[in-house]
């Protein structure tokens, strides 16, 4: 396991750092890293930042993460740098349709609303649509001829693999899943910081996890913003961080290996926790303090 089992309560703050082994890969993430942006040392409480970005360093982050019950990541086969400010306004984009359909899902009164976010990933050969379901921590790929209504209905059931539609494919996600806001057309701060942070997370995790650049997830004034999803035993956690600068994500991931939250007061926006021990893949989340 990449992490030791997390405490059910909020994790302890830490500033522990440990070097990770280097690793080489080729993904869409690398296409977005600006060549002319360099980390720059600055005064506390921000030990590492990028020059000339207007980041809110003073507003408390505690419990600033949104409340939701399900997170659906819609895989897009195009780089984040090419997305418009409102991804859901693109022709044939399914984000808006999923958001509208999810409002009436029968599980919503129990779990809370569904959050739908576009993520930058290469297309899956032979499939038109791929969606990552959280907290199920599964990627579902759907064929070209499958209607959106059928996809939405399947997702509304919690992504039960036993009921997967004919022609679709399910893939488990193992290890940490790191979501990094890199939506530059929505806000330049995330557009600059996101690809840098994503590349560092990718290098730190190697094959032990997965990293995706995402569209707007909220809190651009606290760029960079990341979410880390991970299963530990029967529990899936989603932890939100803000004010993440170059060099920080390595320390955040290393602290998590020890069951700790790095720079809690400066960076931690709060978390969600789902108990997955039952067959129901859409349990109501709790919000650890």
Domain boundaries, the chain: 12-16+40-55+174-272, 70-172
The angle at the Cα of 232, spanning 142 to 199, to the nearest 5 degrees, equals 65
Q: What mean pLDDT do residues 92-105 have?
A: 69
Looking at the predicted structure, is the pLDDT value of residue 34 above 50? no
Query: Is residue 226 within 8 Å of residue 180, measured between CB atoms?
Result: yes
39 confidence band (pLDDT: 50, 70, 90): very low
Task: For residue 212, list its beta bridge partners.
Answer: 179
How far apart CA 107 and CA 89 sit, in angstroms, is 27
Looking at the predicted structure, is the pLDDT value of residue 95 above 80? no
Share of residues in the chain with pLDDT > 70 (%): 73
Segment among 29-33, 48-52, 130-134, 282-286 with least mean pLDDT:
29-33
Which of these CATH numbers, 3.40.190.10, 3.40.50.150, 3.40.30.10, 3.40.50.2300, describes 12-16+40-55+174-272? Answer: 3.40.30.10
- 223 or 8: which carries more pLDDT confidence? 223
CB atoms within 10 A of CB 157: 15
pLDDT tens per residue, range 137-175: 999 999 988 888 888 888 877 666 667 888 999 999 999
| Closest C-alpha among 206, 203, 214, 185 to residue 246 | 203
pTM passes above 0.85: no
pLDDT at 286 (0 to 100): 87
Task: For residue 237, list its beta bridge partners.
Answer: 230, 273
CB atoms within 10 A of CB 220: 21
Block residue for tokens 């059910």? 8
pLDDT tens per residue, range 4-24: 333 333 344 444 433 333 322
* Spatial CB neighbours of 63, under 8 Å, sequence gap ≥ 6: 269, 270, 287, 289
Looking at the predicted structure, is the pLDDT value of residue 40 above 50? no
Looking at the predicted structure, is the pLDDT value of residue 30 above 70? no
């Amino acid at each position: 396991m990449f992490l030791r089992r997390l405490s059910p309560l909020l994790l302890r703050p830490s500033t522990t750092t440990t070097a990770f082994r280097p690793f080489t890969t080729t993904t869409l993430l690398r296409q977005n890293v600006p060549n002319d942006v360099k980390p720059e040392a600055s005064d506390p409480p921000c030990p590492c930042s990028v020059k000339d970005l207007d980041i809110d360093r003073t507003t408390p982050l505690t419990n600033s993460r949104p409340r939701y019950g399900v997170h659906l990541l819609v895989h897009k086969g195009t780089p984040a740098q090419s997305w418009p400010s409102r991804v859901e306004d693109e022709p044939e984009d399914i984000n808006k349709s999923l958001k509208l359909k999810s409002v009436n899902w029968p599980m919503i009164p129990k779990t809370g609303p569904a959050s739908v976010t576009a993520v930058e990933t290469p297309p899956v050969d032979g499939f038109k649509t791929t969606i990552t379901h959280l907290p199920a921590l599964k990627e579902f790929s759907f064929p070209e001829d499958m209607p959106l209504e059928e996809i939405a209905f399947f997702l509304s059931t919690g992504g039960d693999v036993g009921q997967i539609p004919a022609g679709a494919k399910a893939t488990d996600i193992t290890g940490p899943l790191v979501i990094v806001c890199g939506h530059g057309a929505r806000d330049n701060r995330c557009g600059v910081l996101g690809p840098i942070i994503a590349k560092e997370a990718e290098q730190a995790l190697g094959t032990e996890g997965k990293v995706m650049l995402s569209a707007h997830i909220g809190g651009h004034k606290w760029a960079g913003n990341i979410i880390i999803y991970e299963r530990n035993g029967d529990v899936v956690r989603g932890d939100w961080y803000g004010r993440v600068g170059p060099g920080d994500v390595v320390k955040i991931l290393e602290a998590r290996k020890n069951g700790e939250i790095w720079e809690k007061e400066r960076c931690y926006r709060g978390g969600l926790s789902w108990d997955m021990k039952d067959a129901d893949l859409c349990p109501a989340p709790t919000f650890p303090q």
